[in-house]
Amino acid sequence: MKKTLIFLLFIVATTVSLLGVTAAFADDETALALFEKMNSQDLDLASIAIKKAHSPDVKQLAQMIIEDHQPIGKEAKRLGESLKLHGKPNAEVADKYANDLNKLKTVKGGVAFDKSYMDYELAFSKDFIRALKEEIVPNTQHEELKNFYQGVLPQFETHLMHIQHVAGMQH
């Protein structure tokens, strides 16, 4: 039976996409490309949140994400170049990335935006952490890349705690 991976990539947390594990993480090149795309997406969405969020707590969370994810993205890119990993992310994921970004751009600012953004971040972070732990790290062949993933995992877990805290304040 083909394994599936639930990977939330939509702005509204109720939209779920099922991606086949073999397609999303077929090899180190594809997995790293997907990691970079998801990191980039979180950066782009945080930039939008800083402009559109109503709550100072949401804006502060978005700023933290930007400050933490920029060096992660640079290191991922450096590793890709160093290990000569130049894959492309799963095409379905890349298409959804563009759609997600456009959806969040259309949500008006204020409280409605805060809720949409926090719902997205909560679902995305939980699923991304699970994917790192259960799919990406165990299947990574390059030791340096595996160490990188394991090294950023605690930072993503800390982000999730902050996201849960801020989301709890919003409801």
- The whole-number average pLDDT for the span 105-123 is 89
pLDDT digits (tens, 9 = 90+) for 2-44: 322 222 223 333 233 333 344 566 689 988 998 898 898 889 9
In order of their start, the domains of the chain are 4-19+28-170 (1.20.1260.10)
- Complete DSSP assignment for 63-91: HHHHHHHHHHHHHHHHHHHHTT------H
The arithmetic mean of pLDDT across residues 56-71, rounded, is 96
> Residue 46's Cα: distance from chain center in Å?
11
For the stretch 122-144, pLDDT in tens is 988 898 899 899 989 999 999 99
pLDDT for 106 equals 87
For the chain, first and last CA: distance in Å?
A: 40
Distance in angstroms (rounded) separating the CA atoms of residues 24 and 3 = 11
